[in-house]
Chains A and B, each alone.
Chain A
Amino acid sequence: MARLPKTVIDPIIDQNPIAVQILGICSALAVTTSLTTALTMSLAVIAVLVTGNLIISLIRNHIPTSIRLIIQIVIIASFVIVVDQLLQAFAFGISQRLSIFVSLIVTNCLVLGRAEAFAMRNPVGPSLLDALGNGFGYAVVLLIVGAIRELFGSGTLLGTQVLPLTTEGGWYPGLSLMLLAPSAFFILGILIWAIRSVRRAQVEPNEYPPAAEAREARS
């Protein structure tokens, strides 16, 4: 039982799905212009991950190997449709702002990746915990990026004004770059740099070392 909590805690930093496993980046960047959309998207992904992993792990012994990918995609797509319809019914404004990105959870490699790599081989309990852990890892990155972009871009957090904008008589000139696409790439790149500076083990090896260093390494 001691290793169960590890499946939850590991993916949050050490095995973070976005920063380390490079899964599910597509949607992670597009929905982070504000904290509200990032939060909604995280909840949607966690819901799909948990339910998808649960069902796939339940029927894993009855899925023929040759058509497993199709079955997994259909199960995941069904849950994504449910989540999408729920959002349209109860939070129409946010679902409009998320545009097509809720539907794109289907091709989010994170969901399919965890189904294929974990839920197909493990019983229901660990699969659920794995889904929760990876979902939280995904949510943490999304929320950090979303908070930075909303705070510096429009001076708000979750819609409440934190930094008063100059256009409304305050002192903070909004940084509109933060609301554009490039800033998402920069913030994620810098975030990965920060994580790797703390966790040295994640640094990628230098594939093409300078000649002098290579000689030193050989001798």
Chain B
Amino acid sequence: MTELFLRAVFADNLILSFFLGVCTFLAISKRVETAAGLAIALTVVQSISIPLNYLVLEYLLSAGSWAWLGLPDVDLGFLKLIAFIGVIAAMVQILEMVLERYVPALFRSMGIYLPLITVNCAILGGSLFMAERQYDLAESFVFGLGSGIGWGLAIVALAAIRERLRYADIPAGLRGLGIAFIVTGLMSMGFTAFGVVQAP
């Protein structure tokens, strides 16, 4: 489990080695505070939605899951894409309502980022990886938590670097998007080195 968690955070980092969620990553990384808010929101959604999608996949969609109804041949596996998107969108909506009702302070600080997360490919990608690698319930929770933290770590680090880069003398053509790509590339090389980190 620790092994899986460490891999999800560092070596298999969703942004830096699978390029998931890069659009949001580049758009919302100009300030550390906003990046941190988004990182927390994404980690929460990721660690709830992946186990939830696991349950949907296991008990509603996979081959043989309708056997108790006398339909052993039904395999709805091809519907998993639409089902996952539906689950994620509904979950974000419910999370938003629950937060607004019970933790209004937290809702105000991360409320604006929640809708953005529905269309973030890191979330859908995480669920699809869960299906492809056939994790069980506990593993999918650990994977969700780890990949969320890894994503958050990368976006906060990039935001911090970009804050420092404001006053750097960058060639005109590289300003903004170009330099963000180069910095991300260097960070990605750094994270590759974490690939050798082993659980004790």
What residues of chain A have their CB less than 8 Å away from a CB belonging to chain B?
A: 22-30, 70, 73-74, 77-78, 80-81, 84-85, 99-100, 103-104, 106-109, 112, 180-186, 188-190, 192-194, 196-197, 203-204, 206-208, 210
Distance (Å) between the CB of B91 and the closest chain A CB?
15
Closest A-B pairs by Cβ, 10 of them? A189-B181, A185-B185, A204-B176, A196-B173, A100-B128, A29-B19, A107-B121, A182-B188, A189-B182, A186-B185
Chain A neighbourhood of B182, CB < 8 A: 185-186, 189-190
A-B contact pairs, 8 of them (CB 8 A): A23-B23, A185-B185, A190-B178, A192-B173, A192-B174, A192-B177, A203-B175, A204-B175
Chain A neighbourhood of B124, CB < 8 A: 103-104, 106-107
B78 touches A27 (CB 8 A): no
Interface residues of B, CB < 8 Å — how many?
A: 45
Chain A neighbourhood of B59, CB < 8 A: none
Chain A neighbourhood of B125, CB < 8 A: 26, 100, 104, 107
Chain A neighbourhood of B181, CB < 8 A: 185-186, 188-189, 192
A15 to B54, CA, bound (A): 40
B121 touches A26 (CB 8 A): yes
A112 touches B119 (CB 8 A): yes
Distance (Å) between the CB of B194 and the closest chain A CB?
13
Given contacts A186-B181, A196-B178, contact A26 B23 (CB under 8 A): yes
Question: How many pairs, one residue from A and one from B, have CB atoms within 8 Å of each other in the complex?
Answer: 127
Find A107's partner among B120, B171, B178 (CB 8 Å cutoff): B120
Chain A neighbourhood of B85, CB < 8 A: 73, 77, 106-107
Please provide the chain B residues from 16 to 30 with a CB less than 8 Å away from any CB of chain A in the complex: 16-23, 26-27
A184 touches B23 (CB 8 A): no
Given contacts A85-B78, A204-B176, contact A25 B23 (CB under 8 A): yes
Distance (Å) between the CB of B57 and the closest chain A CB?
13
Instruction: Name A99's closest neighbour in chain B (CB-CB).
Output: B132
A206 to B186, CA, bound (A): 23
Q: Chain B's interface: helix, strand, loop or mixed, by majority?
A: helix
Chain A neighbourhood of B189, CB < 8 A: 182
Chain A neighbourhood of B169, CB < 8 A: 210
Instruction: Name B88's closest neighbour in chain A (CB-CB).
Output: A107
Find B82's partner among A74, A85, A100, A204 (CB 8 Å cutoff): A74
Given contacts A29-B19, A77-B81, contact A189 B185 (CB under 8 A): yes
Distance (Å) between the CB of B123 and the closest chain A CB?
8
Given contacts A104-B121, A107-B121, contact A181 B17 (CB under 8 A): yes
B132 touches A109 (CB 8 A): no
A189 touches B178 (CB 8 A): yes
Given contacts A25-B23, A26-B19, A203-B172, contact A108 B82 (CB under 8 A): no
Chain B neighbourhood of A206, CB < 8 A: 172, 175
Chain B neighbourhood of A80, CB < 8 A: 81
B185 touches A81 (CB 8 A): no
A208 to B176, CA, bound (A): 11
A182 to B190, CA, bound (A): 9
Distance (Å) between the CB of A175 and the closest chain B CB?
14
B175 touches A189 (CB 8 A): no
Distance (Å) between the CB of A187 and the closest chain B CB?
9
B91-133 vs A, Cβ < 8 Å mask (1 yes, 0 no) = 0000000000000000000000000000111001100110010
B129 touches A193 (CB 8 A): no
Q: Which of A73, A103, A109, A183 has the most CB of B within 10 A?
A: A103
B175 touches A183 (CB 8 A): no
Chain B neighbourhood of A109, CB < 8 A: 23, 119
Chain A neighbourhood of B175, CB < 8 A: 203-204, 206
